[in-house]
Structure 1
Amino acid sequence: MKHFIGVCLIQLIGIAAFSQQYKATDEGSSIKFTIKNFGFETGGSFTGLQGMIGFDPGDVKKDSFDLSIDANTVNTDNNMRDNHLREEGYFDVQNYPRIRFVSTSVTVDRNAHFTVTGQLTIKNTTREISIPFTATPKNGGYIFTGEFKLNRRDFQVGGSSTISNSLTVYFSVFARK
Protein backbone atom coordinates (compact mmCIF):
# COMPACT_ATOMS: atom_id res chain seq x y z
CA MET A 1 0.00 0.00 0.00
CA LYS A 2 2.84 2.42 0.86
CA HIS A 3 4.44 1.64 -2.49
CA PHE A 4 1.16 2.39 -4.31
CA ILE A 5 0.76 5.74 -2.50
CA GLY A 6 4.39 6.61 -3.28
CA VAL A 7 3.89 5.90 -6.99
CA CYS A 8 0.72 8.02 -7.02
CA LEU A 9 2.53 10.93 -5.35
CA ILE A 10 5.39 10.77 -7.85
CA GLN A 11 2.90 10.83 -10.73
CA LEU A 12 1.03 13.79 -9.24
CA ILE A 13 4.27 15.70 -8.73
CA GLY A 14 5.22 14.97 -12.33
CA ILE A 15 1.88 16.24 -13.58
CA ALA A 16 2.13 19.38 -11.44
CA ALA A 17 5.60 20.12 -12.86
CA PHE A 18 4.09 21.02 -16.23
CA SER A 19 1.74 23.80 -17.29
CA GLN A 20 -1.76 22.94 -18.43
CA GLN A 21 -1.77 22.11 -22.14
CA TYR A 22 -4.15 23.93 -24.46
CA LYS A 23 -4.71 23.43 -28.17
CA ALA A 24 -4.88 26.61 -30.25
CA THR A 25 -7.98 26.69 -32.42
CA ASP A 26 -8.54 28.57 -35.64
CA GLU A 27 -12.19 28.96 -34.68
CA GLY A 28 -12.48 31.85 -32.25
CA SER A 29 -9.00 33.18 -33.10
CA SER A 30 -7.82 35.98 -35.36
CA ILE A 31 -4.42 37.01 -36.71
CA LYS A 32 -4.48 40.41 -38.42
CA PHE A 33 -1.90 42.90 -39.61
CA THR A 34 -1.75 46.51 -40.75
CA ILE A 35 0.89 48.12 -42.95
CA LYS A 36 1.18 51.35 -44.90
CA ASN A 37 1.19 51.28 -48.70
CA PHE A 38 1.75 54.59 -50.52
CA GLY A 39 1.27 56.18 -47.08
CA PHE A 40 -2.23 54.71 -46.64
CA GLU A 41 -2.94 52.07 -44.04
CA THR A 42 -4.02 48.70 -45.38
CA GLY A 43 -4.10 45.29 -43.81
CA GLY A 44 -5.06 41.70 -43.91
CA SER A 45 -5.35 38.49 -41.99
CA PHE A 46 -4.21 34.88 -41.79
CA THR A 47 -6.02 31.70 -40.78
CA GLY A 48 -4.94 28.10 -40.40
CA LEU A 49 -3.79 28.53 -36.80
CA GLN A 50 -2.34 25.37 -35.23
CA GLY A 51 -0.30 24.56 -32.18
CA MET A 52 -0.09 23.97 -28.46
CA ILE A 53 0.22 26.32 -25.52
CA GLY A 54 1.42 25.21 -22.10
CA PHE A 55 0.09 27.85 -19.72
CA ASP A 56 -0.04 28.31 -15.97
CA PRO A 57 -0.47 31.99 -15.06
CA GLY A 58 0.83 31.24 -11.57
CA ASP A 59 4.11 29.68 -12.73
CA VAL A 60 5.19 31.12 -16.08
CA LYS A 61 8.63 29.46 -15.96
CA LYS A 62 6.95 26.29 -17.26
CA ASP A 63 4.88 28.01 -19.95
CA SER A 64 5.44 27.29 -23.63
CA PHE A 65 3.99 28.38 -26.96
CA ASP A 66 4.40 26.52 -30.26
CA LEU A 67 2.09 28.09 -32.83
CA SER A 68 1.92 28.38 -36.60
CA ILE A 69 -0.33 29.86 -39.26
CA ASP A 70 -0.87 28.91 -42.88
CA ALA A 71 0.99 31.50 -44.99
CA ASN A 72 -1.15 30.58 -48.01
CA THR A 73 -4.24 32.00 -46.26
CA VAL A 74 -3.03 35.62 -46.41
CA ASN A 75 -6.15 37.68 -47.15
CA THR A 76 -6.12 41.42 -47.89
CA ASP A 77 -9.53 41.46 -49.64
CA ASN A 78 -7.69 41.87 -52.95
CA ASN A 79 -7.10 38.60 -54.85
CA MET A 80 -4.40 40.04 -57.10
CA ARG A 81 -2.43 41.38 -54.11
CA ASP A 82 -2.97 38.15 -52.14
CA ASN A 83 -1.57 36.07 -55.01
CA HIS A 84 1.41 38.44 -55.26
CA LEU A 85 2.07 38.07 -51.51
CA ARG A 86 2.12 34.27 -51.90
CA GLU A 87 4.92 34.46 -54.49
CA GLU A 88 8.64 33.89 -53.94
CA GLY A 89 9.48 37.54 -53.28
CA TYR A 90 7.10 37.75 -50.36
CA PHE A 91 5.89 34.71 -48.37
CA ASP A 92 7.00 32.07 -50.92
CA VAL A 93 4.23 29.73 -49.78
CA GLN A 94 5.35 26.96 -52.16
CA ASN A 95 8.57 26.52 -50.17
CA TYR A 96 7.54 27.92 -46.78
CA PRO A 97 3.87 27.09 -46.19
CA ARG A 98 3.79 27.99 -42.47
CA ILE A 99 4.82 30.91 -40.29
CA ARG A 100 5.89 29.58 -36.88
CA PHE A 101 6.56 30.93 -33.39
CA VAL A 102 8.23 28.85 -30.66
CA SER A 103 8.70 30.38 -27.23
CA THR A 104 11.87 30.32 -25.17
CA SER A 105 10.53 32.13 -22.07
CA VAL A 106 7.48 33.82 -20.57
CA THR A 107 7.46 36.58 -17.96
CA VAL A 108 4.67 38.32 -16.06
CA ASP A 109 4.53 41.66 -14.25
CA ARG A 110 2.57 42.64 -11.13
CA ASN A 111 -0.44 43.62 -13.24
CA ALA A 112 -0.75 40.19 -14.90
CA HIS A 113 0.64 41.45 -18.20
CA PHE A 114 2.68 38.71 -19.83
CA THR A 115 5.56 38.80 -22.31
CA VAL A 116 6.53 35.77 -24.36
CA THR A 117 9.96 35.69 -25.99
CA GLY A 118 10.78 33.22 -28.71
CA GLN A 119 11.79 32.43 -32.24
CA LEU A 120 9.60 33.64 -35.12
CA THR A 121 10.26 31.95 -38.46
CA ILE A 122 8.97 33.47 -41.69
CA LYS A 123 10.24 31.88 -44.89
CA ASN A 124 13.80 30.76 -44.16
CA THR A 125 14.56 33.45 -41.58
CA THR A 126 14.27 33.06 -37.82
CA ARG A 127 14.49 36.01 -35.42
CA GLU A 128 13.98 36.39 -31.69
CA ILE A 129 11.03 38.59 -30.77
CA SER A 130 9.21 39.49 -27.56
CA ILE A 131 5.44 39.77 -27.60
CA PRO A 132 3.33 41.34 -24.84
CA PHE A 133 -0.03 39.67 -24.23
CA THR A 134 -2.90 39.23 -21.83
CA ALA A 135 -4.62 35.95 -20.99
CA THR A 136 -8.33 35.78 -20.22
CA PRO A 137 -10.02 32.52 -19.12
CA LYS A 138 -12.84 31.45 -21.45
CA ASN A 139 -14.83 28.22 -21.88
CA GLY A 140 -12.26 25.94 -20.23
CA GLY A 141 -9.38 27.60 -22.06
CA TYR A 142 -7.83 31.00 -22.58
CA ILE A 143 -7.95 33.88 -25.02
CA PHE A 144 -4.46 35.29 -25.56
CA THR A 145 -4.51 38.82 -27.00
CA GLY A 146 -1.87 41.35 -27.92
CA GLU A 147 -0.05 43.19 -30.65
CA PHE A 148 3.53 43.66 -31.78
CA LYS A 149 5.54 45.32 -34.53
CA LEU A 150 7.74 43.61 -37.11
CA ASN A 151 10.07 44.78 -39.83
CA ARG A 152 9.13 42.74 -42.92
CA ARG A 153 12.65 43.20 -44.33
CA ASP A 154 14.12 41.40 -41.29
CA PHE A 155 12.38 38.30 -42.66
CA GLN A 156 13.11 39.01 -46.35
CA VAL A 157 9.43 39.55 -47.12
CA GLY A 158 9.38 41.81 -50.18
CA GLY A 159 12.05 44.16 -51.39
CA SER A 160 12.21 47.92 -51.75
CA SER A 161 8.77 49.25 -52.55
CA THR A 162 6.10 51.74 -51.60
CA ILE A 163 5.08 49.40 -48.78
CA SER A 164 6.32 50.38 -45.33
CA ASN A 165 8.94 48.13 -43.77
CA SER A 166 7.13 48.22 -40.42
CA LEU A 167 3.87 46.42 -39.80
CA THR A 168 1.74 45.75 -36.74
CA VAL A 169 0.35 42.30 -35.97
CA TYR A 170 -2.78 41.98 -33.82
CA PHE A 171 -3.76 38.61 -32.43
CA SER A 172 -6.48 36.98 -30.43
CA VAL A 173 -5.75 33.28 -30.00
CA PHE A 174 -8.28 30.95 -28.42
CA ALA A 175 -6.81 27.78 -26.94
CA ARG A 176 -8.69 25.07 -25.07
CA LYS A 177 -7.97 21.73 -23.41
Structure 2
Amino acid sequence: MTPNALTRSTLAVALALGLAGTAQAVEYGTLDTAASRVGFRYTQMGVTLDGQFKQFSAQLRFDPARPEAAAATVEVPLAGIDSGSPEGDDEVKAKTWFDTANHPVARFVSSSVKPLGDNRFEITGQLSIKGKTRPVSFPATFTPGAPSATFEGTLPLQRGDFAIGEGEWSGFDIVANKVDVIFHLVARPLAE
Protein backbone atom coordinates (compact mmCIF):
# COMPACT_ATOMS: atom_id res chain seq x y z
CA MET A 1 0.00 0.00 0.00
CA THR A 2 1.37 3.40 -0.93
CA PRO A 3 1.79 6.14 1.72
CA ASN A 4 -1.05 8.12 0.07
CA ALA A 5 -3.37 5.10 0.10
CA LEU A 6 -2.42 4.38 3.73
CA THR A 7 -3.13 7.99 4.72
CA ARG A 8 -6.51 7.92 2.91
CA SER A 9 -7.42 4.61 4.60
CA THR A 10 -6.43 5.90 8.02
CA LEU A 11 -8.40 9.10 7.43
CA ALA A 12 -11.43 7.12 6.25
CA VAL A 13 -11.35 4.90 9.35
CA ALA A 14 -10.91 7.90 11.65
CA LEU A 15 -13.84 9.71 10.02
CA ALA A 16 -16.01 6.61 10.17
CA LEU A 17 -15.27 6.16 13.87
CA GLY A 18 -15.82 9.85 14.54
CA LEU A 19 -19.13 9.86 12.71
CA ALA A 20 -20.25 6.67 14.45
CA GLY A 21 -19.62 8.33 17.81
CA THR A 22 -21.49 11.44 16.72
CA ALA A 23 -24.45 9.45 15.44
CA GLN A 24 -24.92 7.96 18.90
CA ALA A 25 -24.78 11.33 20.68
CA VAL A 26 -28.49 11.95 21.02
CA GLU A 27 -30.21 14.26 23.47
CA TYR A 28 -33.62 13.02 24.57
CA GLY A 29 -36.34 15.40 25.59
CA THR A 30 -39.72 14.76 23.98
CA LEU A 31 -41.97 12.63 26.21
CA ASP A 32 -44.18 10.05 24.49
CA THR A 33 -47.09 10.17 26.97
CA ALA A 34 -49.07 7.47 25.14
CA ALA A 35 -46.24 4.96 25.69
CA SER A 36 -45.28 6.19 29.19
CA ARG A 37 -46.75 5.26 32.57
CA VAL A 38 -46.70 6.71 36.07
CA GLY A 39 -48.20 4.46 38.71
CA PHE A 40 -47.99 3.74 42.41
CA ARG A 41 -47.97 0.79 44.79
CA TYR A 42 -49.17 0.88 48.39
CA THR A 43 -50.32 -1.50 51.11
CA GLN A 44 -53.79 -1.36 52.63
CA MET A 45 -54.78 -3.77 55.41
CA GLY A 46 -51.82 -5.98 54.52
CA VAL A 47 -52.71 -6.21 50.82
CA THR A 48 -50.44 -4.67 48.17
CA LEU A 49 -52.41 -2.61 45.65
CA ASP A 50 -51.49 -0.79 42.45
CA GLY A 51 -52.88 2.37 40.90
CA GLN A 52 -51.92 4.81 38.20
CA PHE A 53 -52.16 8.41 37.15
CA LYS A 54 -54.03 8.94 33.89
CA GLN A 55 -52.31 12.23 33.10
CA PHE A 56 -48.79 13.56 33.53
CA SER A 57 -46.31 15.71 31.69
CA ALA A 58 -42.55 16.01 31.71
CA GLN A 59 -39.88 18.36 30.48
CA LEU A 60 -36.72 16.34 29.95
CA ARG A 61 -33.19 16.97 28.74
CA PHE A 62 -30.90 13.97 28.81
CA ASP A 63 -27.72 13.42 26.85
CA PRO A 64 -26.20 10.01 27.72
CA ALA A 65 -22.74 11.46 27.03
CA ARG A 66 -23.33 14.24 29.60
CA PRO A 67 -25.71 12.88 32.27
CA GLU A 68 -24.57 15.46 34.83
CA ALA A 69 -26.20 18.15 32.65
CA ALA A 70 -29.57 16.35 32.63
CA ALA A 71 -32.72 18.05 33.87
CA ALA A 72 -36.27 16.88 34.43
CA THR A 73 -39.52 18.35 35.66
CA VAL A 74 -42.46 15.97 35.98
CA GLU A 75 -45.97 17.15 36.82
CA VAL A 76 -48.88 14.89 37.74
CA PRO A 77 -52.45 16.28 37.96
CA LEU A 78 -53.69 14.40 41.02
CA ALA A 79 -57.36 14.50 40.01
CA GLY A 80 -56.45 12.01 37.27
CA ILE A 81 -55.76 9.25 39.80
CA ASP A 82 -56.99 5.71 39.17
CA SER A 83 -56.87 3.79 42.44
CA GLY A 84 -58.83 0.86 41.05
CA SER A 85 -62.29 1.98 42.19
CA PRO A 86 -64.40 5.12 41.62
CA GLU A 87 -65.10 5.36 45.38
CA GLY A 88 -61.38 5.19 46.14
CA ASP A 89 -60.65 7.84 43.49
CA ASP A 90 -63.18 10.21 45.09
CA GLU A 91 -61.81 9.51 48.57
CA VAL A 92 -58.17 10.28 47.75
CA LYS A 93 -59.10 13.59 46.12
CA ALA A 94 -60.59 14.77 49.44
CA LYS A 95 -58.91 17.22 51.81
CA THR A 96 -57.67 14.47 54.14
CA TRP A 97 -55.71 12.81 51.32
CA PHE A 98 -54.46 14.82 48.29
CA ASP A 99 -56.76 17.84 48.70
CA THR A 100 -56.85 18.26 44.91
CA ALA A 101 -59.09 21.34 45.16
CA ASN A 102 -56.22 23.27 46.79
CA HIS A 103 -53.21 21.25 45.58
CA PRO A 104 -54.06 19.91 42.11
CA VAL A 105 -50.55 18.97 40.94
CA ALA A 106 -47.65 16.91 42.29
CA ARG A 107 -44.29 18.06 40.92
CA PHE A 108 -40.77 16.65 40.82
CA VAL A 109 -37.84 18.86 39.80
CA SER A 110 -34.42 17.26 39.45
CA SER A 111 -31.30 18.90 40.85
CA SER A 112 -28.65 16.32 39.94
CA VAL A 113 -28.05 13.10 38.03
CA LYS A 114 -25.19 10.85 39.12
CA PRO A 115 -23.99 7.92 36.95
CA LEU A 116 -23.92 4.58 38.80
CA GLY A 117 -22.70 2.47 35.85
CA ASP A 118 -24.50 0.09 33.49
CA ASN A 119 -26.96 2.81 32.37
CA ARG A 120 -28.14 3.32 35.95
CA PHE A 121 -28.31 6.75 37.53
CA GLU A 122 -29.13 8.27 40.89
CA ILE A 123 -31.65 11.07 40.46
CA THR A 124 -31.89 13.74 43.16
CA GLY A 125 -34.40 16.55 43.37
CA GLN A 126 -37.37 18.12 45.10
CA LEU A 127 -40.80 16.47 45.28
CA SER A 128 -43.81 18.69 46.02
CA ILE A 129 -47.16 17.23 47.02
CA LYS A 130 -50.01 18.92 48.88
CA GLY A 131 -48.03 22.10 49.54
CA LYS A 132 -45.07 20.28 51.07
CA THR A 133 -41.67 19.98 49.35
CA ARG A 134 -39.13 17.35 50.34
CA PRO A 135 -35.74 16.26 48.95
CA VAL A 136 -35.78 12.83 47.31
CA SER A 137 -33.21 10.56 45.72
CA PHE A 138 -33.84 7.36 43.76
CA PRO A 139 -32.24 5.10 41.14
CA ALA A 140 -33.36 5.01 37.51
CA THR A 141 -32.35 2.91 34.53
CA PHE A 142 -31.86 4.38 31.07
CA THR A 143 -32.35 2.08 28.07
CA PRO A 144 -31.20 3.68 24.81
CA GLY A 145 -33.04 2.92 21.62
CA ALA A 146 -34.13 4.25 18.28
CA PRO A 147 -36.21 6.22 17.78
CA SER A 148 -36.94 6.38 21.53
CA ALA A 149 -35.34 5.54 24.87
CA THR A 150 -36.84 4.60 28.22
CA PHE A 151 -36.29 5.75 31.78
CA GLU A 152 -37.57 3.37 34.46
CA GLY A 153 -37.45 3.42 38.20
CA THR A 154 -39.18 3.58 41.53
CA LEU A 155 -39.37 6.63 43.77
CA PRO A 156 -40.13 5.53 47.35
CA LEU A 157 -41.85 8.02 49.60
CA GLN A 158 -43.46 8.23 53.03
CA ARG A 159 -47.00 9.54 52.68
CA GLY A 160 -46.80 11.03 56.17
CA ASP A 161 -44.05 13.39 54.99
CA PHE A 162 -46.61 15.03 52.68
CA ALA A 163 -49.68 14.85 54.98
CA ILE A 164 -51.32 12.38 52.60
CA GLY A 165 -53.91 10.87 54.92
CA GLU A 166 -54.87 13.24 57.72
CA GLY A 167 -57.19 12.89 60.70
CA GLU A 168 -58.37 9.30 61.11
CA TRP A 169 -56.08 8.31 58.20
CA SER A 170 -52.88 9.73 59.73
CA GLY A 171 -52.03 6.37 61.33
CA PHE A 172 -50.35 3.68 59.28
CA ASP A 173 -52.21 0.64 60.61
CA ILE A 174 -54.77 0.55 57.75
CA VAL A 175 -52.83 2.25 54.94
CA ALA A 176 -49.05 1.85 55.19
CA ASN A 177 -46.79 4.89 55.26
CA LYS A 178 -44.57 3.66 52.39
CA VAL A 179 -45.73 4.34 48.85
CA ASP A 180 -43.72 3.56 45.72
CA VAL A 181 -44.16 5.75 42.66
CA ILE A 182 -43.27 3.58 39.67
CA PHE A 183 -42.45 5.22 36.35
CA HIS A 184 -41.77 4.10 32.80
CA LEU A 185 -41.06 7.17 30.67
CA VAL A 186 -40.50 6.90 26.93
CA ALA A 187 -38.57 9.81 25.44
CA ARG A 188 -37.75 10.72 21.87
CA PRO A 189 -34.78 12.78 20.70
CA LEU A 190 -35.13 16.54 20.76
CA ALA A 191 -35.91 17.99 17.36
CA GLU A 192 -32.81 19.39 15.71
TM-score band by shorter chain is 0.7 to 0.9
Measured in 2, the distance between the counterparts of 1:153 and 1:25 equals 32
Shift, 1:78, TM fit: 0.8
After superposition, what is the alpha-carbon deviation per residue over 1:128-149, rounded to whole angstroms, capped at 9, x for unaligned? 1012111122443321101131
Q: TM-score, normalised by structure 2?
A: 0.78
Aligned to 1:84: 91
Measured in 1, the distance between the counterparts of 2:96 and 2:31 equals 29
After superposition, what is the alpha-carbon deviation per residue over 1:24-66, rounded to whole angstroms, capped at 9, x for unaligned? 2321111111111111111211121112111011111211011
Local SS of the residue matching 2:32: strand
Between Structure 1 and Structure 2, how many residues are aligned?
159
Q: Does 1:137 align with 2:113?
A: no
Aligned to 2:179: 167
Aligned to 1:122: 129
Aligned to 2:63: 56
Shift, 1:101, TM fit: 0.5
Aligned to 2:7: none
What 5-or-longer segments of structure 1 have no aligned partner? Answer: 1-18
Q: Judge conservation of contact 1:24–1:49 (CA < 8 Å) in 2.
A: no
Measured in 2, the distance between the counterparts of 1:20 and 1:47 equals 27
Q: Which of residues 1, 23, 29 in structure 1 aligns to 2:30?
A: 23
Measured in 1, the distance between the counterparts of 2:164 and 2:157 equals 11
Measured in 2, the distance between the counterparts of 1:68 and 1:157 equals 17
Q: TM-score, normalised by structure 1?
A: 0.84
Q: Judge conservation of contact 1:118–1:128 (CA < 8 Å) in 2.
A: yes
**Which one has the largest radius of gyration?**
2
Measured in 2, the distance between the counterparts of 1:24 and 1:91 equals 25
Alignment of 1:27-42 (within 5 A): 27-42=34-49
Shift, 1:21, TM fit: 5.0
Select between 26-35 and 97-106 the one with higher mean Cα deviation. 26-35
Aligned to 2:155: 148
Measured in 2, the distance between the counterparts of 1:58 and 1:170 equals 25
Q: Judge conservation of contact 1:25–1:175 (CA < 8 Å) in 2.
A: yes
Aligned to 1:157: 164
After superposition, what is the alpha-carbon deviation per residue over 1:49-90, rounded to whole angstroms, capped at 9, x for unaligned? 112111011111211011111111111121111100001111
More strand by share: 1
Q: Judge conservation of contact 1:24–1:67 (CA < 8 Å) in 2.
A: no
